[in-house]
Amino acid sequence: MFKRLDRILGGCLCVLLLSCGLAGAYDYPFADPYVATVVGTPTEYMEVLPAEVPVKFDTLQMFPERDVPGILWNLDELRYSYIRQKDPAPLIFLIAGTGAGFNSPKMQLMQKAFYRAGYHVISISSPTHPNFIVAASTSGVPGHLEEDSADLYKVMQAIWQKHQKKMKVTEFYLTGYSLGAAQSAFIARLDEQEQAFNFRKVLLINPPVSLYNSVLILDEMLEHNIPGGLDNFKAFYQRIVNAFADVYAHGEDVQFNNDFLYRAYEYRKPSSDEPLAALIGTSFRISSENMAFTTDVLTKAGYVVPKNLVLRRHDNVRDYAKVLSRLSFLDYFRGIFVPHFQAQDPSVTEAQLIKTLSLRSLDEYLRNSAKFGLIGNEDDLILLPGEIDYLRDLFGSRATIFPHGGHCGNMAYPDNVSAMVSFFADAKN
C-alpha cells in the first residue's frame, strides 16, 4: 500500500519538477528535422485556429495578350485569395514557398492566424507555381529572386488596385515562408524605391540564405536516398504505399486526413532518416517538374518538349513527366535558367547568377533596416552548416530561432504562430 503511495507521490514530484524545469522551454514534438519537415505539426499540437474564415477567391490577368499553349489552358488567370476585415486594419500580403499555391496548407494557416489577429489578408502563389509562371511571370523563367519579386510586386499592386475601394487599410505588412521569405526581402527593397506600399514590417519565415545551396541540398535528398537509385523509385514508392496500407488496416482509428502521416509515423517509425529525406526530395522534385515543364512549354525552351511542337489540351504528357522526374533543379538551372539570362547578356556567368540568388546580396540592407524580422529553425534542412549562424548574425535581436522544427515543420505550433503574429502586433502599437 505504502509502496504504491510512494510511487504515486514520486510520479507527482517528477511531473512537478519537469513542468518547472521545462517552463519556457520549447516543446514542439519532433527533435528530428526530417520528421518535423515531413510530418509537420499534428492537430493535437497545433495552435487552435478558426475552422472557417470568410475567405474569397478571385483571379487576375496580368498578360491578357499572352498566347498560352493548349496544355496549359487552365493556368492563364492568376488565382489568389483575400479576406477583408469590416473595420480599418493593416493589410498583410502572404507569399507561398517553392512550388506552393496561394491556398497551400501553410498559407491557410498563416491566413487564419493573421485574420484572427485583425488584419486584411491577401495570399499569393509562389512565382515557381505553374499558375504564376503562366499568368504573371514576365519572363516565364522563374528562379531569379529579383525578377520574380518584381513580378510579385506588380501582382500585389494589381490586386490592391482591385480591392482598395472596399478595404480600409491603415498600413501594409509583408511575409512569406521558405522561398516566399527570400522574395519578401527583395520585394521590400524594391518597395523602398517604388513606395507603392511602404511596408511597415516584413517577416521572413524559414528563408534560404543561398537559393542555389538550398536546391542542391533538396536535389540530393532524392538522388541519394532511394535504395538502388532513381531507377528503383517505383519500388520505394510501393513500399511507402504498402506501409500506409498496413497502418490504415491495423492502426487504431486511422483515417485519410491531415493527421494520416503522423499516425503512420507513430505506427511505423522508420529506422533511419533516409526514407524521410527521400520523401522531402520527391516533393521538391515534383515541384521542379511542374515548374520546368511549364517554363519549357511557355517559352519554347526546347528543354524536354521539341521547340516547335504545340501540345494541345488533352495530349498525353506522361513521357515528359518521366524525363523530368530524372532532371534536377540544377539541370533546370543549367538547361533553361542560365541560357535565358545569357541570351539577354552574353557576358553573364553562372557564378554571377548564383551570387544574385542569395540574401547575402542584400546583406547591408537587411542588416540595417529595422522593419525586418526573422523566424528560423536551428536545424532547418535547406541551410548549409553556418548559414543559420549567418542569419543570426544578420538579423541579431530581430531573429527568433527555434531549436528544432526542420524546414517549416513547426509553423503551426503555438509558439511559432504567436511569434509570427506578435512580430506585427508590436508594430501596431
Which residues are near other proteins by CB under 8 A? 71-72, 74-75, 101, 103, 125, 129-131, 231, 233-235, 237-238, 241-242, 244-246, 248-249, 253, 256, 286, 289-290, 293-294, 296-297, 302-323, 325-327, 331, 335
Give the separation between CA 322 and CA 329, rounded to whole angstroms. 15
Q: Which C-beta is closer to other proteins: that of 69 or that of 414?
A: 69
* Shortest reach from residue 53's CB to other proteins, in Å: 14
Residue 262 to residue 4: CA distance in whole angstroms: 35
Of the pair 304, 412, the CB lying nearest other proteins is at 304
**With contact defined as beta carbons under 8 Å apart, do 304 and 292 qualify?**
yes
Closest CA to 142 of 298, 326, 312: 298
DSSP notation for 98-161 = TT--TTSHHHHHHHHHHHHTT-EEEEE--TTSHHHHHHH-SSS----HHHHHHHHHHHHHHHHH
Please enumerate in sequence order all residues whose Cβ is within 8 A of that of 119, keeping only pairs 6 or more positions apart, or say none: 85, 89, 90, 91, 92, 173, 424
The string of DSSP letters for 404-421 reads: --TTTTTTTSHHHHHHHH
Shortest Å, Cβ 299 to other proteins: 13
**Closest separation in Å from C-beta 360 to other proteins:** 31
Number of H helices and number of E strands within the chain? 17, 8
CB of 178 to other proteins, least distance (A): 17
Q: What one-character DSSP code corresponds to residue 48? A: P
Q: Which is nearer to other proteins, 132 or 153 (CB)?
A: 132
**Shortest CA distance to 378 belongs to which of 42, 22, 23, 31?**
31
Identity of the residue, 38 or 75, whose beta carbon is nearer to other proteins in the bound complex: 75
Q: Is 330 helix (H, G, I), strand (E, B) or coil?
A: helix
Q: How far is the CB of 261 from other proteins (least distance, A)?
A: 13
CB of 333 to other proteins, least distance (A): 13
Query: CA–CA separation, 53 vs 144, rounded Å?
Result: 34
Shortest Cβ 228–other proteins spacing (Å): 11
Q: Which is nearer to other proteins, 26 or 73 (CB)?
A: 73
Q: Are 375 and 204 in contact (CB under 8 A)?
A: yes
Q: Which of 318, 105, 325, 323 is nearest to 236 (CA)?
A: 325
The single residue listed with the C-alpha cell 541519394 is 224
Q: Which is nearer to other proteins, 24 or 306 (CB)?
A: 306
Q: Which amino acid is at 400?
A: T
Look up residue 392 and give its amino acid: R
Where do we find the cell 527583395? 186
Assess contact for 151 and 121: CB atoms under 8 A. no
For other proteins, the closer CB: 302 or 414: 302
Closest approach of Cβ 47 to other proteins, in Å? 21
Distance of closest approach, residue 52 Cβ to other proteins, in angstroms:
8
Q: And the C-alpha cell for 311?
A: 501540345
Q: How many CA atoms lie within 13 A of 76 on its CB side?
A: 13
Minimum Å gap between C-beta 271 and other proteins is 22
Cβ distance 183 to 203 under 8 Å?
Answer: no
- Residue closer to other proteins (CB basis): 29 or 302: 302
- Which of residues 45 and 260 has its CB atom nearest to other proteins in the complex? 260
Task: In angstroms, give the least distance from the CB of 291 to other proteins.
Answer: 10
Residue placing its CB nearer to other proteins in the complex, 21 or 306? 306
Closer CB to other proteins, residue 202 or residue 221? Answer: 221
Strands in 304-351 per DSSP E:
none
